[in-house]
Amino acid sequence: QQQVKQSPQSLIVQKGGISIINCAYENTAFDYFPWYQQFPGKGPALLIAIRPDVSEKKEGRFTISFNKSAKQFSLHIMDSQPGDSATYFCAASNTDKLIFGTGTRLQVFP
Amino acid sequence: DGGITQSPKYLFRKEGQNVTLSCEQNLNHDAMYWYRQDPGQGLRLIYYSQIVNDFQKGDIAEGYSVSREKKESFPLTVTSAQKNPTAFYLCASSSRAAGAYNEQFFGPGTRLTVL
């Protein structure tokens, strides 16, 4: 019930393409769903987050789509760039902890 | 310049030795966290603290210990009881203000290698 399942494990996208990463959860008490971006050797940084009362949130090229009934949410990166190459983690929170997915390694080739 | 600092960036220790990883934050956050990251795996919670002088075990607390004597500091000790301590350790903090979501800010990490 506390798990967040993330897929795919790795993703290769051509420059200018759309990158899509999916996450699923079981615990309906989760009320905050952030996405983190991590470059090699660095700490994760918050990229974008959503609450379950909205179905979509967009910030620049990054969009979260949220499906409450299916208990799924996804990150879409439009016009993917080589600088987006990183590991992306979804997470879910209820009160005092964040539960992280296992990560997706994104590689964007020019 | 507000943020979270972790030191050192790289740490080497011999097997059987205890080692303490430093984490300091000047964000005035109440809550602090320690995670362990292994290659190809997500972030696993070791310990967390929501207020000074109080902390809770996370999912993989065995072989680790923490203290929270000051709001700004949350050091992690990796003891000799930890069977496989080589990993990348991340510290994070978040505000516990009423209505605030659990937006966690991470430090740069410490890579511990036990020889």
Residue B98 has pLDDT above 90, yes or no: no
> Which residues of chain B have a CB within 8 Å of the CB of A95?
102
3-class secondary structure, B13: strand
Q: What is the mean pLDDT of chain B?
A: 91
The sign one gets for the Cα dihedral A41, A42, A46, A47 is negative
**Cβ–Cβ of B40/A31 closer than 8 Å?**
no
Top-ranked range on mean pLDDT: pick from A70-79, A93-102, B6-15: A70-79
Residue A47 has pLDDT above 90, yes or no: yes
Residue B97 has pLDDT above 80, yes or no: no
pLDDT tens figures, B34-61: 999 998 778 999 999 999 999 999 999 9
**Cβ–Cβ of B109/A32 closer than 8 Å?**
no
> Which residues of chain B have a CB within 8 Å of the CB of A34?
103
Residue B90 has pLDDT above 90, yes or no: yes
Which residues have C-beta within 8 Å of that of residue A79, sequence separation ≥ 6? A16, A18, A61
Residue A18 has pLDDT above 60, yes or no: yes
